Amino acid sequence: MAAKVIHGVNAVREALRAGRCVNRVYLARESRAHGVDALVDEAKTLRVPFDFVPQAKLNDLTGTREHQGVAATISPLAYASLDECLERCPPKALLLALDQVQHPRNFGMLLRTAFGAGVAAVLAPERGGALLDDDVVRASAGAAFHVPVVPCPNLSQTLRTLKDSGFWVYALAGDGDEDVFTVNWADRSVLVLGNETHGIRPGVQKACDVTVRIPLCGGLDSLNVSVAAGVALFQAMLSMRRG
């Protein structure tokens, strides 16, 4: 597979820090965005080749002018397997399952939120959702390099496998039976979020143990999926730490 191009100070910095296979870093001669000097130092430390190039070359390489004067070529992002996920999970583990989240920006923001909340892996159907591509990497500001993503041929069956491995599965929905702030989060938990428009599919819903909700004020019936994930994941993390 051909190398991919990422751009932006945060995305390139996170790729370097994550130990990804960064082939070469490109920096605009005309630009000195905040953080560029530190990127050069990091590339030198890791012995990653870097070049100062004309701004026009970065525009052509990235297909945009919104690159902050920084780009890099990397090997394609790799997916993880469910077996690898289970082998690496600690005794207390929080997983995030995404049921056909469509928009790359949402997917990227969810990965960044998951990384911040200490999520061990993100599960997603092989078909019907956003792909782990350059748009997702940019939206995650590089966090996509740190969180294992597990593609699932059948998400419902994957959730059942996780339940057999000691996980408790929580579906997040506006009409959930339990409050995310008062429910008893298990030491090994999976949070399931649905599609931006249609929510969680019935078959996936049936594979969950309990449905939880975020109490909202002002007559709101829902939040953006990445915002909702942030609320629920950090509450789950807090509950698991206290337990």
Q: What is the pLDDT of residues 220-237, one digit of tens each?
A: 888 999 999 999 999 999
pLDDT for position 156: 97
Mean pLDDT of 50-79: 87
Q: What phi-psi label fits residue 95: left (phi over 0), alpha (psi between -120 and 50 degrees) or beta?
A: beta
On average, the pLDDT of the chain sits at 90
Interhelix angle 104-116/225-242, nearest 10 degrees: 20
pLDDT at 20: 60
Across 160-179, average pLDDT: 96
Tokens of 221: 């019936």
Instruction: Give the C-alpha separation, 147 to 142, whole Å.
Output: 10
- Give the pLDDT confidence of 186-205 residue by residue, as tens digits: 999 999 999 998 999 999 99
Mean pLDDT (whole number) for 62-70 = 89
Region 79-87: mean pLDDT is 91
Structural domains in the chain, CATH included, are 4-74 (3.30.1330.30), 82-242 (3.40.1280.10)
Packing angle, helices 36-46 and 9-17, rounded to 10: 20
Comparing CA positions, the residue from 122, 100, 126, 130 lying closest to residue 201 is 100
Alpha helices (runs of H) in 9-70, residue ranges in sequence order = 9-17, 36-46, 55-62
Residue 1 clears pLDDT 60, i.e. is over it: no
> Could you tell me the pTM of the whole model?
0.78
Local confidence band at 137 (pLDDT 50, 70, 90 cut-offs): confident
